[in-house]
Structure 1
Amino acid sequence: MGERSVKLPDIGEGIAEAELVEWHVKVGDLVREDDLLATVMTDKASVEIPSPLAGEISWVGAQIGEAVAIGSTLVKLKVAGDDASEPADEAPAKDVAVPSAVAKAEAPDARPAPAARVHPAAIEARPAITSAVRRAPGEKPLASPAIRLKAREAGVDLRQVHGTGPAGRITHEDIDAFLSRGPALLHGRGMSPKTAVTDVKVVGLRRRIAEKMALSKSRIPHITIIEEVNVSPLEDFRASLNKKPAPEHPKLTLLPFLMRAMAKALAEQPALNALYDDAAGIVHQHAGIHIGIATQTPSGLVVPVVKHVEARDLRDCSIELNRLAHRAREGTATREELTGSTITITSLGALGGLATTPVINHPEVAIVGVNKIAVRPVWDGTQFVPCKMMNLSSSFDHRVIDGWDAAVFVQRLKELLENPATIFVDP
């Protein structure tokens, strides 16, 4: 029996350190080769670190939320046999592929290790699946974002699900097995007071979102303009275009029309398509229009970027928007696809309220918020008629954008959206 150190490998892109966002093991756990040890995060990229060999965890090197330097010891393993013959500081780190902005949702036990590499006690230590799971009060079930989303959609409480993955991690198969046993475990115990308090450490992507929002609100004096738009003509036009869908052309939503309207309005007001370096006192106005689309994913909010909207037609905007949104939600978007925006759209779709107060994506100077469409009575001069109305909520950096210029931009968007044919007419 000997001890081996597993170091944090070089995860590329010149990264010197990474934030530890999740442990998949604890001291005393028995692991097999390729079992997951931890998940680390750099910028918006999550990386899962596998074990290079089998053994027992004897030491862990950091706490959740701490920065770990590349090459520093992540865990120490008690190993037996041939694995113990190598010096502790020379344990080879597994090659690690850097995924995208959000951790990929794949079952961690889908890579079986060769039988010869498994510590004899590791198999005996695996608990059998039972009809109920007992966890310590406040203990969080281990599961990937995709597993948690699947459980929410199925109405499953993960605290009742037994995990068969490494360190009790819950897999897709565990959810399916739980559901196959029927709703017996889902019954409630009646109404009773609850006194538990769960402490959730803000780490990883959630911490980066918090830092970004705090930076935006603390450094940017926001001015928000809310304007209602009659989108009845636009919705009729969109419905007519969607009557003949093609496999290569996804159905058009409202967003591609808004993107094209923004491209036209920004060509008239380039000061709004800009990044403000407040430290240097310079506003960088961009000729290319790169629109970030705020997208909700299982791990949090990310902003994939549709590049060069000024050079894309309606269908091209729709195709690229769908491609990027899919990659963001699947966790396969690249760093290039998640950076470089010059202005942002945020939309809650049908879930949105009458109005919102969007937070500017620093260091941009403007953001356009889309609220839900609702049929409301509108006075046409002689009578009230039902119209499909939608409010635009747009925020601007008041340090560099005057209220007048912001209002001109919003009114131009309103004019274009209420008269959709003008979006496609050159001046």
Structure 2
Amino acid sequence: MHITTPDIGVDKATVAEILVKVGDTIAVDDSIVLLESDKASVEVPSTSAGVVKSILVQQGDEVAEGAVLIELAVEGQTAAPVAETAPVETATQAVAAEVKSETVETPVAAISSQVVDVQVPDIGVEKATVSEILVAVGDEIALDDSIVVVESDKATVEVPSTVAGIVDAVIIQVGDSVKEGVVLLKVKTASATPVADEVVAAPATAPVVETAKVEVAAPVAAAPKGAVEIAVPDLGVDKAAVAEILVAVGDKVEKDQSIIVVESDKATVEVPSTTAGTIKAIHVTLGQNVSEGIALVTIEAEGQAVAPVAQASVAAPAKVEAQKAVVPVQTASATHSADKLSKEQNAANSKVYAGPAVRKLARELGVVLAEVKASGPHERVMKEDVFAFVKVKLTTPQAAQTVAAPVASGLPALPDFSAFGGSEIAPMTRLQQVSVPQLSLNNFIPQVTQFDLADITELEAWRGELKGKFKQDGISLTILAFIAKAVAFLLKEEPYFAGHLADDQKSVVLRNEIHMGIAVATPDGLTVPVLRNPDQKSIKQIAIELGELSKKARDKKLSPKDLQGANFTITSLGSIGGTAFTPLVNWPQVAILGISPATMQPVWNGEGFDPKLMLPLSLSYDHRVINGADAARFTNKLTKLLADIRNILL
């Protein structure tokens, strides 16, 4: 038999937790799933006793009244069981000892299966190795069951299944290198499909009871309609600031139309609308810090429900007793208590695993949920945990603390300039503001800069021959493409320059791949997108990608992943001017190469001076990892590669 979603007082709710697994024996009223809505968290009880045969929902699914949750094998059930209807609860429902009706019409759900790909989630590293496969074809697995173990140089991680079902195929093998998005398994899952109505007749000898017909609509398939909240998606960072609001209340928007621009120290991202409709409310302001899940706007969606699939006609007793009506859930109170948390604390609470009721309680009591010890399944914070936390706080004497106001830069406060003509405040761009903490890390790096000159006369002549053909193909061939290729080649020979000082400061972390940061000047400041694996690409491929990254940076289209993972950086002044400079090492990297404009200079050949196009190089490095002699050797090798790029082919 099927256990379905009862009337939970809202149109739809999200499956927050599945409390049973296939094979469990459960009793009547045992909780089977936990549902969450914007009003309440509700544990749905089983209406029958038996053994869980299959679970037909997944964590994160949205369900409505009548949706099938689990299939139950009832003890003593016959081959053709009579389908049961979901209880109908109204304000005038009677609790009758026995109700025998002549006929009951109900939709019957058929079980269909589909094969779902289970992929590698974001495991915090570029790639990892499959060290153990924990399942085999034919195994029955539940949601969150561990399926494979992957290892990287950072950690060993058990990857959980995102679905429940039977393993249909194992795609990977032990020893395979995998990354986010790679398919691990194919799992056959079961789902409920409504079919034609059946009429089940009661025994002919059953006594006739006076009844009142109550029509209950079966679940319907509907397009999004009504108020829809658009929340901050996963940006790849803990928080970002609202840089621009692209819509106003009353505006009509299309699906995937950009509505908000957010900026972090890593990227500027446009957040799209997930539905079409009219902007009903805007919940954020310029400069506000937001994180994943924070509501941005409310949209009145333009959707229409389609015709219902089926209806059930349920017989209810004519004589009712209103005082015995059943109320399935408690809705949220209409009165809202004062919020005692700051926006930052509310943002932090949104990341903690807890239900809406617990979050509301935390707001009312001024509790930061990250400080509360969780006792629920999967480290879920329960109401009891919040009350226990508050009780400890109220009964534990607190020592008086005097905290001096921190100075962000470590420097004394600015003097008063009013006696010297006065001053005014000019705000920095958001990109400049978020760069301050990162640049301040350079205070802890003992940095040295090595200068050199590279003869690029022949290289520039070759580039001049090639750039006409490249231009016809829409490709801008700059000298930077050749430099990136030469540096990538050299980093394979000198891996310490692409490494990192380990946290214990007793060893160096050497990277397996080269990912090169390329500094790009934009109207808002300097940003550094990443060129992936330049050592494995041709100069033409590098030129194409440099053009694409530069355009995305200027158009504020860089994603968080475009800015992550670099282990060496090149920054160029182009044709702006200057003879040399000392670029700052970008922690956690240990080296950065600065390029100044090339100039024609006389170079002694032993008998006379030849005009040569000389390119100034400025290599800044972390002296804790790189020795001065190694830095001089690095730049010397680079000058030879640039003087004759054919050396890369040797």
Is the TM value for this pair above 0.5? yes
The answer (yes or no) to whether the contact 1:358–1:395 under 8 Å persists in 2 is yes
One-letter code aligned to 1:372 = P
Aligned residue for 1:234? 459
- The offset of 1:355, in angstroms, is 0.1
Match of 1:274 in 2: 499
* Aligned residue identity for 1:197: E
Structure 1 residue 383 corresponds to structure 2 residue 608: yes
| Pairwise CA distance, 1:419 | 2.2
1:67-99, CA deviations, whole angstroms, 9 ceiling, x for partnerless residues?
3456667799xxxxxxxxxx999xxxxxxxxxx
- Does the C-alpha gap of structure 1 residues 411 and 20 become closer, same or farther in structure 2, counting only changes over 3 Å? same
Return 67-76 or 334-343, whichever deviates more.
67-76
CA distance in 1, matches of 2:599, 2:619: 19
Shift of 1:231: 1.5
Q: Is 2:432 aligned against 1:206?
A: yes
Q: Distance in 1 between matches of 2:286 and 2:549?
A: 33
Cα 1:73–1:233 change in 2 (3 A) is closer
The CA distance in 2 between the partners of 1:252 and 1:72, in whole Å, is: 43
Which of 182, 197, 200 aligns to 2:424? It is 197
Which stretches in structure 1 are left out of the alignment for 5+ residues?
Answer: 77-86, 90-193
Whole-angstrom distance in 2 between the partners of 1:256 and 1:16: 34
SS of aligned partner of 2:231 = coil
Flag the 1:255–1:61 CA change in 2: closer, same or farther, 3 A: closer
Distance 1:54 1:221, change over 3 A: same
Change (3 A) 1:22 1:390: same
**TM superposition score normalised by structure 1:** 0.60
The answer for the alignment partner of 2:268 in structure 1 is 45
Aligned partner of 1:167 in structure 2 is: none
* Superposition deviation, residue 49 in structure 1: 8.8
- Match for 2:594: what amino acid? G
The within-5 A match list for 1:18-417 is: 18-21=240-243, 31-33=249-251, 39-42=261-264, 43-47=266-270, 64=287, 66-68=288-290, 197-200=424-427, 203=430, 205-215=431-441, 217-245=442-470, 247-248=472-473, 250-278=475-503, 281-417=506-642
Task: Give, in whole Å, the separation in 2 of the partners of 1:17 and 1:254.
Answer: 37
Summarize deviations over 1:352-391 as a string: whole Å, max 9, x none.
3100101112111111111101112222222223221121
Does the 8 Å CA contact 2:514/2:533 hold for their aligned counterparts?
yes
SS of residue paired to 2:614: strand
Aligned letter for 2:240? A
Residue pair 1:273, 1:342 contacting (<8 A) in 2 also: yes
Q: Rate the CA distance shift 1:378–1:335 in 2: closer, same or farther, 3 A.
A: same
User: Aligned partners of 1:67, 1:209: CA distance in 2, in Å?
Assistant: 16
Distance 2:498 2:279 in 1: 54
Structure with greater proportional strand content: 2
Bigger radius of gyration, 1 or 2? 2
CA distance in 2, matches of 1:354, 1:37: 44
Contact 1:8/1:70, CA 8 A, preserved across alignment? no
**Any conservation in 1 of the 2:231–2:295 contact (CA below 8 Å)?**
no
Q: Which has the higher contact order (CA 8 A, sep 6+)?
A: 1
Is the partner of 2:469 in helix, strand or coil? coil
In the alignment, what sits opposite 1:12? 234
**Cα drift, residue 422 of structure 1:** 1.8
Indicate conservation of the 8 Å contact 1:209/1:301, yes or no: no
Question: In 2, distance between residues paired with 1:420 and 1:69?
Answer: 47
Q: Is the 8 A contact 2:235 2:292 kept in 1?
A: no
The CA distance in 1 between the partners of 2:290 and 2:558, in whole Å, is 24
- Distance in 2 separating the partners of 1:394 and 1:312: 24
What is the DSSP-based 3-state SS (H/G/I as helix, E as strand, rest coil) of the residue aligned with 2:640? helix
Q: In angstroms, what is the RMSD of aligned CA positions?
A: 3.6
Distance in 2, Cα, partners of 1:313 & 1:343: 19
- Cα distance, 1:323 vs structure 2: 1.9
Corresponding residue for residue 183 of structure 1: none
Kindly state the Cα deviation for residue 317 of structure 1 after the two structures are TM-superposed.
1.6
Letter in 1 for 2:427: V
Shift, 1:18, TM fit = 3.3
Uncovered stretches (5+) of structure 2, i.e. residues with no partner: 1-226, 299-333, 337-420
Cα distance 1:72–1:238, how it changes in 2: closer, same or farther (>3 A)? closer
- Checking the alignment, whether the CA contact within 8 Å between 2:268 and 2:557 is kept in structure 1 is no
Alignment partners' CA distance in 2, 1:415 and 1:69: 48
Q: Identity across aligned pairs (percent)? A: 32
Take 2:556 and 2:638, find their aligned partners in 1: how far apart are those partners?
32
Q: Which secondary structure does the structure 1 equivalent of 2:610 belong to?
A: strand
Change in Cα spacing, 1:382 to 1:219, as seen in structure 2 (3 Å) is same
The answer to whether the Cα contact below 8 Å between 2:267 and 2:559 also exists between their aligned partners in 1 is: no
TM score, norm. by length of structure 2: 0.41
Displacement of 1:322 in angstroms is 1.6
Deviation at 1:303, TM superposition (A): 1.3
Measured in 1, the distance between the counterparts of 2:526 and 2:533 equals 22
> How many equivalent residue pairs?
299
- Return the alpha-carbon distance in structure 2 between the equivalents of residues 358 and 308 of structure 1: 23
CA distance in 2, matches of 1:374, 1:266: 26
Cα drift, residue 403 of structure 1: 0.5
SS at match of 1:210: helix
Is the Cα–Cα contact under 8 Å of residues 599 and 614 in structure 2 kept in the other structure? yes
- Distance change >3 Å, CA 389–CA 321, structure 1 → 2: same
| Structure showing the higher helix proportion among its residues | 1
Query: Match of 1:116?
Result: none
Letter in 1 for 2:432: R
The range that moved more, 309-318 or 282-291, is 282-291
TM-fit CA distance, 1:218: 1.5
- How many angstroms apart in 2 are the aligned matches of 1:383 and 1:315? 37
Which residue number corresponds to residue 155 of structure 2?
Answer: none
- In the aligned structure 1, how far is the partner of 2:422 from the partner of 2:272? 36
Aligned 8 A contact 2:269 2:556 in 1:
no
Secondary structure, counterpart of 1:223 in structure 2: strand
- Structure 1 residues 290, 9: closer, same or farther in 2, change over 3 A? same
CA distance in 2, matches of 1:196, 1:252: 46
Q: Deviations over 1:19-68 (max 9, x none)?
A: 2445789xxxx8433599975334423346999867899xx87673x534
Q: CA deviation at 1:307?
A: 1.1
2:240 is paired with a residue of what secondary structure?
strand
Q: Is the 8 A contact 1:62 1:74 kept in 2?
A: no
SS at match of 2:448: strand
Structure-2 change in CA distance of 1:305 and 1:354 (3 Å): same
8 Å contact kept, 1:39–1:49? no
Q: Secondary structure at the match of 1:245?
A: helix
